[in-house]
């Protein structure tokens, strides 16, 4: 998110447009907690980003802070936010976040006519109409590095590891990381398997992988957060099923370690491109839209970036729901691809 904040400040400054940062998201908008992101260093000087904003692009997290806002979920709270927007004579609001953020921005536009443009940011990669969101690539690099380290330990001790990664109800991180780490199997919520079926599948992979003829030293199984069996329970049940087999099975939950760290090159790149498109969209009069990295969808509004288009936020919300309930062609394609390489992972 910091890379996007920096990009917005730099692009806006180049177009001689001051930018204010809102502390802690919609809560800060309600309370009027602002800080300048641009400045003029002297009389007659050109507008430029604040020094700390210039350096923030390589830092993890967000210098502006983020928070869920129960107040903003009410009409009264959104009315207060809109009143603050008017009080400060703002010309547009750029929001950076996931589906909840986009829904909040959409309501602000519908109810009060606030000009809003969204930038997708979610490590889960579960936002519709964008191939990738800010944070996904950094999270994947962190997962791959962690799994490589776990594989070293597993191979040294002839163990099997079940590694849970974040992603809520989306299995994208687990799927992509499984391919990158040459995992032996991957468990995704999109597969819709029940606990008993999952346990059996894991036991089968372990028997196949640790067959004496394979001379295999480790087994790595990635499990998405949204799979409907806790990792600890899965490990215990697999141990029981394996019985006296001399295979050590461990479970590791990477958790919030996946969300932190300095952003990767790719995240900084797409954040910069999203920031450029978002600022131009506000200044060109667009509203209730989100910038999406999507060259396949023909219904988006073209921008100066060939790869990035603007999509109506209602369409983004609808596609996001389809991603999560399995009806989106993107989700269907992901599951199909995983089924095609299912046997390959365990070879």
Q: Which residues are catalytic?
A: 124
| Residue 121 DSSP label | B
Give one word for 288, left, alpha or beta, with left for phi > 0 and alpha for psi -120 to 50.
left
Other C-beta atoms lying within 10 Å of the C-beta of residue 146: 18
Place of tokens 């430029």: 48
Chain Cα centroid distance, residue 323: 14
Rounded distance, CA 300 to CA 288, Å? 13
Mention every residue, 6+ apart, whose C-beta is less than 8 A from residue 61. Answer: 1, 2, 260
Rounded distance, CA 8 to CA 34, Å? 16
To 10 degrees, what angle do helices 136-157 and 172-180 make? Answer: 50
**DSSP conformation letters of 146-213:** HHHHHHHHHHHHTEEEEEEE--TT--HHHHHHHHHTT-SEEE-GGG---HHHHHHHHHHHHHHHT-TT
Of the CA atoms within 13 Å of residue 264, those in its CB half-sphere come to 19
Rounded distance, CA 247 to CA 299, Å? 53
């Amino acid at each position: 998110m910091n890379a996007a904040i920096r990009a917005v400040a730099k692009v806006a400054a180049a177009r001689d447009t001051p930018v204010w940062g809102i502390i802690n998201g919609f809560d800060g908008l309600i309370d009027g907690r602002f800080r300048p992101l641009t400045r003029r260093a002297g009389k007659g000087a050109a507008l430029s980003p604040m020094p700390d904003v210039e350096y923030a692009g390589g830092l993890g997290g967000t210098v502006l802070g983020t928070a869920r806002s129960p107040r903003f979920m009410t009409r009264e709270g959104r009315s207060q936010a809109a009143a603050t927007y008017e009080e400060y004579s703002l010309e547009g609001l750029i929001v950076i976040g996931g589906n909840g953020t986009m829904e909040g921005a959409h309501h602000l536009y519908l109810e009060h006519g606030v000009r809003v443009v969204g930038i997708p940011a979610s490590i889960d990669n579960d936002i519709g109409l964008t191939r990738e969101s800010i944070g996904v690539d950094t999270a994947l690099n962190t997962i791959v590095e962690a799994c490589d380290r776990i594989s070293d330990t597993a191979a040294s001790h002839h163990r099997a590891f079940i590694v849970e990664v974040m992603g809520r109800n989306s299995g994208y991180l687990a799927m992509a990381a499984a391919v990158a780490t040459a995992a032996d199997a991957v468990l995704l919520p999109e597969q819709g398997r029940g606990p008993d079926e999952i346990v059996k599948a894991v036991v089968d992979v372990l028997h196949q992988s640790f067959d004496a003829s394979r001379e295999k030293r480790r087994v790595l199984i990635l499990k998405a957060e949204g799979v409907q069996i806790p990792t600890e329970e899965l490990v215990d049940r697999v141990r029981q099923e394996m019985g006296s087999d001399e295979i050590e099975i461990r479970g590791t939950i990477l958790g919030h370690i996946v969300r932190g760290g300095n952003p990767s090159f790719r995240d900084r790149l797409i954040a910069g491109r999203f920031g450029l498109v978002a600022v131009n969209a506000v200044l060109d009069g667009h509203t209730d839209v989100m910038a999406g990295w999507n060259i396949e969808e023909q219904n988006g509004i073209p921008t100066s970036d060939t790869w990035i288009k603007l999509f109506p936020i209602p369409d983004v919300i609808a596609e996001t729901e389809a991603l999560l309930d399995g009806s989106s062609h993107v989700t269907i394609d992901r599951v199909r691809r995983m089924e095609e390489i299912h046997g390959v992972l365990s070879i």
